[in-house]
Amino acid sequence: MLSHRKVPNRIRELREQVQMLVRQRIGAGIICSRCGCTFATYSEKCSADLDERCPGFNAVDLVQMRAEKEVGLT
């Protein structure tokens, strides 16, 4: 019987590292001046349409792009 091979998934590890950095860097403060949401309440409180880039989305996107570049994902 062959043993199951476990291959490290480097891309998944880098994405997890990016998400950790985003959570750390954004913290618990308000990220959107329009709806007053935080990173933790963004998905529940955001009042923007799905095709609209609100201030909260822009804040998260900026931090995420910087983290992706830092870890070498992009």
- Per-residue model confidence as pLDDT tens for the chain (74 residues): 555 556 678 888 999 999 999 999 999 999 999 999 999 999 899 888 888 889 999 999 999 999 999 999 98
Q: Mind giving me the DSSP string for 7-22?
A: ---HHHHHHHHHHHHH
Structural domains in the chain (count): 1
Q: What is the pLDDT of residue 1?
A: 53
In a domain, 70, yes or no: yes
As a whole number of angstroms, the distance between CA 46 and CA 73 comes to 28
Q: What is the pLDDT of residue 69?
A: 97
In a domain, 18, yes or no: no
Query: Containing domain of residue 74, as a range?
Result: 29-47+54-74
In a domain, 73, yes or no: yes
In a domain, 12, yes or no: no
In a domain, 38, yes or no: yes
In a domain, 19, yes or no: no
Distance in Å from the first CA to the final CA of the chain? 40
In a domain, 58, yes or no: yes
pTM: 0.81
Do 22 and 63 touch, CB atoms closer than 8 A? yes
**Residue 15 burial (C-beta neighbours within 10 Å; 0-12, 13-18, 19+):** middle
